[in-house]
Amino acid sequence: MALAARVEGVGLVGPGLAGWEESRAILAGKKPYVASPTAIPTPEALPATERRRAGKSVKLALAAGLAAARASGREPRDLAAVFASSTGDGENLHAICEALASDDRLISPTRFHNSVHNAPSGYWGIATGATEAADSLAAFDASFGAGLLEAMGRVAADPARPVVLIAYDAPYPQPLHATRPIPDGFAVGLVLASASEASRGRTLEIAMRGEPPGAMADAALEELRRAIPAARSLPLLALLAADTPGHATIEYLDGRALDVRVA
């Protein structure tokens, strides 16, 4: 049986994709995609002290999540949350490894609490006042698919409670970058609610399939999709941007994929 949910709001931050409304024509194939470095907005919703401590991963996650919440018309504090990332905060992990490899071996407490995989969910709570449940997932290149499956399962289990899915990735410093080369930051936010609610938005149905996804029609967007795990969301975003019914295939684990139908 397929899971179903309604997309009420989308947020997007990525290379050459500066916001959902600005990127819809590109994703729908009406304008050419031109790659440019990701411009990460300052998380103004955070208090000044936390804003100074926030790294790229936190800033990316908050930017996409808050934009999706604004687009949905819902208060961020009322949303349950699912965070999904392949990388977490590589810059802080790198700095901690450097400290442990030095003669000093003292680790900054700020570095430590920012290094854990659920740090963005903590900053989300600080920024929005949200007290709803928040999960933080990682599934390597399938992290977006795993997050989408979890978020839609949450909606199915509790139809009265909308969920924001926030998938994000940021580059690692060297030498980690040589082993896991993620070229730039990318984040997407989706506010999902029960498909049975009488509200605006597009309805998704998701089911498992055996074949991996094919390539996107736009070669530059396909390169971006393959380069950044969170950008595995691009086939779904392209379908939502085109505003037409259809289906998108999202990479999942063990050579399988998620077939997402948009009504």
CA dist 46 and 11 (Å) reads 18
| Element of type H or E holding 95 | helix 90-100
CA dist 93 and 105 (Å) reads 14
The mean pLDDT value for 89-115 works out to: 86
Contacts of 212 by beta carbon, 8 Å cutoff, 6+ apart: 249, 251, 255, 256, 257
Q: Are 226 and 15 in contact, with CB atoms under 8 Å apart? A: no
Q: What is the 8-class DSSP label of residue 141? A: B
The mean pLDDT value for 54-81 works out to: 96
> What's the confidence (pLDDT) of residue 9?
97
Q: Which of 92, 32, 109, 86 is nearest to 56 (CA)?
A: 92
CA dist 134 and 115 (Å) reads 17
Q: For residue 207, give both structure tokens.
A: 């089911």
Q: Are 175 and 54 in contact, with CB atoms under 8 Å apart? A: no
Domains of the chain: 3-202+215-243 (3.40.47.10)
User: With 90 as the cut, is the pLDDT of residue 114 above it?
Assistant: no
Question: What integer best gives the mean pLDDT of the chain?
Answer: 93
The angle that helices 234-242 and 219-227 make with each other, rounded to 10 degrees, is 140
Quick: pLDDT tens for 4-37: 999 999 999 999 999 999 999 999 999 999 999 9
